[in-house]
Amino acid sequence: MGYLKTLTNGILKENPVLVLMLGMCPSLAVTTVAKSGIGMGIATTFVLLGSNIVISLIKNLIPKAVRLPSFIVIIAGFVTMVGFLVEAYAPQLNKDLGIFLPLIVVNCIILARAEIFASQNGTVKSILDALGMGIGFTLALFLMGSVRELIGSGTWLGMTVTKELVEPMKFFVTPAGGFFTLGIIIAVVNFLTHKKPSEKNGCHGCPSADACAKVSE
């Protein structure tokens, strides 16, 4: 896989939120306004970059038995660091993201990239992968935040857009509106990338296939 492809992979083809379906919780929770979507995206990108670099550097020194604990410790370290920095230099962002900032630790995107990519590839590729995934995550959150803010509050990045013209639909700011927006965006992305369900996916892979078949008989 070429270097450029590693970078662009995370943006659309393997977008962490819209295609891989990772990191759903922060994606839904912080995207009530576009600005906190960007903030969350940048914070996550930073953690992703740090953990990918460190893990790709030390991957050969870590014994298999403690691989995951070591990764988690490194990731948690970067997250706490980002937490301190945001708290000190961007208190408003800290307030907007709330509990979801420390919860980046358990964001599956980061551990997934550490495990799938950084622990098997060189440092340069891991940096590109982290940047690509980070940009993809940030763009997805920014898109969701924009849609929800525009329709739900009539503003965009804090600027009044349609607030005066149309009554904002507050539903889009609520959690249910988040799911709704996410579903529509995923559908649009699948349409644009012509993604089809894989042939391998079928009832036989599902643990409740037997029970399901009995019911339908």
Q: Of the two residues 10 and 50, which places its CB atom closer to another protein in the complex?
A: 50
CB of 26 to another protein, least distance (A): 17
The nearer residue to another protein, 88 or 215, going by C-beta atoms, is 88
Interacting residues with another protein (CB under 8 A): 32, 58, 61-63, 65-66, 69-70, 73-74, 76-77, 80-81, 84-85, 87-89, 91, 95, 153, 168, 170, 173
The DSSP result for 175-206, as a single string, is HHHHHHHHHHHHHHHHHHTT----TT-SGGGS
CA geometry: angle 95, 52, 97, nearest 5 deg:
10
Number of helices (H), then strands (E), belonging to the chain: the values are 9, 2
The least distance separating another protein from the CB of residue 106, rounded to whole angstroms, comes to 17
Helix pair 123-153, 175-192: axis angle to 10 deg: 120
Other CB atoms within a 10 A radius of the CB of residue 111 amount to 17
Residue 51: CB minimum distance to another protein, A: 11
- Report residue 109 CA to chain centroid gap: 6
Q: Which CB, 65 or 192, lies closer to another protein?
A: 65
Q: Output 62 or 108, the one with its CB closest to another protein.
A: 62
Nearer to another protein, 61 or 165 (CB): 61
Q: How far is the CB of 22 from another protein (least distance, A)?
A: 23
Give min distance, CB of 153 to another protein, in A.
7
d(CA 45, CA 181): 23
